[in-house]
């Protein structure tokens, strides 16, 4: 039995942050009822590469979910949502602040409908503050949270990390908040509450010592490319075959083993480099020593030597490397699923890994409105009513 069996979640979000959060909840047993606009559905259905008209991203993001079409702009649609809310434990939404209120679904109304309801709200800037009404997509959160400033190389424009990291971090914080609120409700009998997730704050929470360094030293951390500033050595080093080895020799004993391996016992035994602060003061020099060694050998030979000497190191994986890697396979991080037409597709595995109550994929991503009749029928909407609502375009 999965740990969230018996928990019902209503998803009013779209695209990434809210739906990624419910994906995780669904993999661990929660029943996910995803509300989509009739006819168009979640825009993610059309994002990136499409197979037979539907994004293959959809197969990963919406597995274990039920799709119910409801027009939230209509009075009848809002009435349906109110009825559904009486039956669920968690509401996850990632519309702009004020959207729910405009549909007659304010926090006060939601809590009156269901006092035990946990309301997870994901937005760019949060539900209050001077910026709450500004448009807030993931890239804005990444910029305001401090991440984009640090990405790339000094003196060059900030770069995007390559994935929607701001949205995904917000989703993870949403899951954490929902689980904490569930515990408060179930163990402490505290009833429902609002979990307010801001994209920029989810990114900001990852910024390590950024604030403390500025507070004490006035230090404004700068982008540093592949180097990890102040933690030495930790960088990408070019090998003879044109590939890069990522080497983290920054532990004191690890550094000594690394220097001995590359024939530099003089550096290994130099008291000036015994600890990280001394090494970081001469980071350019140490990086040059390591580079002189790696450029003489292929990446495979470099990694073999480093691993034999217990120095943390790795290669830069692309997706082909991931597909062919035995560790990914052994850890079941690549699993087989199906697209809407039955085509087999490889998808990411389920995380986190729980030994006693692991998550799983029980059903493929739904077609648009696939579960409308089933879900709405369970809350007492008759077949006749469903036909009428469909004729009106409400569902």
Residue 1 belongs to a domain: no
Q: Among 25-29, 154-158, 250-254, 371-375, where is mean pLDDT lowest?
A: 154-158
Q: What integer pLDDT is reported at residue 111 of this predicted model?
A: 96
Q: What integer pLDDT is reported at residue 87 of this predicted model?
A: 96
Q: Which of 167, 196, 287, 371 is catalytic?
A: 167
Say if residue 79 is in the same domain as residue 131.
Answer: yes
Express each pLDDT in 149-174 by its tens digit.
999 888 899 988 899 999 999 999 99
Q: What integer pLDDT is reported at residue 248 of this predicted model?
A: 97
Please provide the distance, in angstroms rounded to a whole number, between the alpha carbons at the two ends of the chain.
33
Say if residue 70 is in the same domain as residue 139.
Answer: yes
Say if residue 248 is in the same domain as residue 362.
Answer: no
Can you state the percent helix, strand and coil of the chain, rounding each to 5? 40, 15, 45
User: pTM value?
Assistant: 0.94
Say if residue 200 is in the same domain as residue 66.
Answer: yes
Say if residue 12 is in the same domain as residue 154.
Answer: yes
Look at residue 292 and tell me whether its pLDDT is greater than 90.
yes
Residue 220 belongs to a domain: no
Say if residue 279 is in the same domain as residue 383.
Answer: no
Q: Other CB atoms closer than 10 Å to residue 232's CB: what's the count?
A: 25
Say if residue 200 is in the same domain as residue 245.
Answer: no
Say if residue 277 is in the same domain as residue 166.
Answer: no
Residue 53 belongs to a domain: yes
Say if residue 137 is in the same domain as residue 248.
Answer: no
Express each pLDDT in 38-80 by its tens digit.
999 999 999 999 999 999 999 999 999 999 999 999 999 999 9
Residue 216 belongs to a domain: no
Express each pLDDT in 322-339 by its tens digit.
999 999 999 999 999 999
Q: Which of 233, 302, 295, 296 is nearest to 261 (CA)?
A: 302
Q: What integer pLDDT is reported at residue 311 of this predicted model?
A: 98
Q: What integer pLDDT is reported at residue 154 of this predicted model?
A: 86
- Spatial neighbors of 292 by CB under 8 A, at least 6 apart, are none
Q: What integer pLDDT is reported at residue 139 of this predicted model?
A: 87
Say if residue 340 is in the same domain as residue 249.
Answer: no
Q: What Cα–Cα distance (Å) separates residue 70 from each residue in 92, 146, 167, 340?
A: 16, 38, 24, 21
Say if residue 143 is in the same domain as residue 32.
Answer: yes
Banded pLDDT at 226 (limits 50, 70, 90):
very high
Look at residue 373 and tell me whether its pLDDT is greater than 90.
yes
Quick check: is 270 catalytic? no
Please check whether residue 59 is in contact with residue 49, taking contact to mean a CB–CB distance below 8 angstroms: no
Residue 303 belongs to a domain: yes
Residue 81 belongs to a domain: yes
Express each pLDDT in 235-263 by its tens digit.
999 999 999 999 999 999 999 999 999 99
Helices (H), the chain: 17-27, 56-61, 75-85, 99-102, 107-113, 138-144, 147-150, 165-186, 199-204, 210-217, 252-261, 265-268, 276-281, 283-294, 299-308, 319-324, 326-330, 372-378, 383-392
For residue 188, give the 3-state DSSP assignment. coil
DSSP label at residue 98: T
Residue 217 belongs to a domain: no
Backbone angles phi and psi of 9, in degrees to 5:
-125, 130
Banded pLDDT at 136 (limits 50, 70, 90):
confident
Domain hosting 384: range is 8-206+329-392
Q: What CATH number is given to the structural domain containing 121? A: 3.40.50.10540
Residue 322 belongs to a domain: no
Q: How far apart are CA 340 and CA 328, in angstroms?
A: 26
E strand or H helix at 129: none
Say if residue 22 is in the same domain as residue 96.
Answer: yes
Q: What integer pLDDT is reported at residue 317 of this predicted model?
A: 96
Q: What CATH number is given to the structural domain containing 309? A: 3.30.1540.10
Look at residue 308 and tell me whether its pLDDT is greater than 90.
yes
In the chain, the number of structural domains is 2
Q: How far apart are CA 141 and CA 158, in angstroms?
A: 14
Q: What Cα–Cα distance (Å) separates residue 115 from each residue in 85, 89, 109, 184, 190?
A: 10, 10, 10, 13, 10
């Amino acid at each position: 039995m999965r740990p969230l069996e018996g928990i019902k979640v209503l998803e009013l979000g779209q695209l990434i942050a809210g739906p990624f959060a419910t994906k995780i909840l669904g993999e661990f047993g929660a029943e996910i009822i995803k509300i989509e606009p009739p006819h168009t559905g979640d825009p993610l259905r059309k994002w990136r590469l499409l197979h037979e008209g539907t994004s293959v991203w959809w197969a990963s993001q919406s597995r274990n979910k039920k799709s119910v079409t409801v027009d939230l702009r209509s009075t009848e649609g809002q009435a349906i949502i109110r009825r559904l809310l009486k039956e669920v434990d968690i509401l996850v939404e990632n519309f702009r602040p004020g959207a729910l209120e405009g549909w007659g679904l304010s926090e006060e109304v939601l809590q009156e409908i269901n006092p035990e309801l946990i309301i997870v709200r994901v937005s760019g800037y949060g539900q209050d503050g001077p910026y709450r009404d500004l448009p807030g997509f993931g890239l804005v959160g990444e910029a305001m949270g401090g991440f984009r400033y640090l990405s790339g190389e000094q003196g060059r424009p900030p770069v995007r990390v390559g994935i929607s990291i701001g949205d995904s971090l917000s989703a993870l914080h949403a899951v954490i908040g929902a689980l904490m609120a569930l515990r408060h409700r179930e163990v402490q009998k505290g009833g429902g509450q609002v979990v307010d997730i801001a994209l920029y704050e989810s990114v900001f929470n990852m910024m390590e010592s950024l604030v403390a360094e500025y507070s004490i030293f006035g230090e404004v951390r700068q982008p540093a490319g592949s180097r990890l500033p102040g933690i030495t050595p930790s960088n990408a080093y070019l090998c003879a075959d044109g590939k890069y080895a990522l080497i983290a020799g920054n532990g004191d004993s690890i550094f000594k083993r690394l220097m001995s391996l590359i024939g530099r016992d003089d550096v290994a035994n130099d008291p000036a480099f015994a600890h990280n602060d001394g090494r970081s003061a001469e980071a350019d020099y140490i990086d040059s020593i390591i580079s002189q060694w790696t450029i003489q050998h292929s990446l495979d030979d470099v990694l073999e030597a480093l691993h034999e000497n217990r120095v943390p190191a790795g290669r830069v994986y692309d997706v082909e490397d991931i597909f062919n890697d035995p560790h990914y396979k052994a850890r079941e991080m690549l699993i087989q699923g199906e697209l809407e037409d039955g085509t087999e597709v490889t998808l990411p595995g389920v995380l986190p890994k729980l030994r006693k109550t692991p998550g799983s994929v029980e059903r493929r991503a739904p077609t648009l409105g696939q579960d409308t009749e089933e879900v709405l029928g369970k809350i007492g909407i008759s077949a006749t009513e469903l036909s009428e609502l469909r004729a009106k375009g409400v569902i």
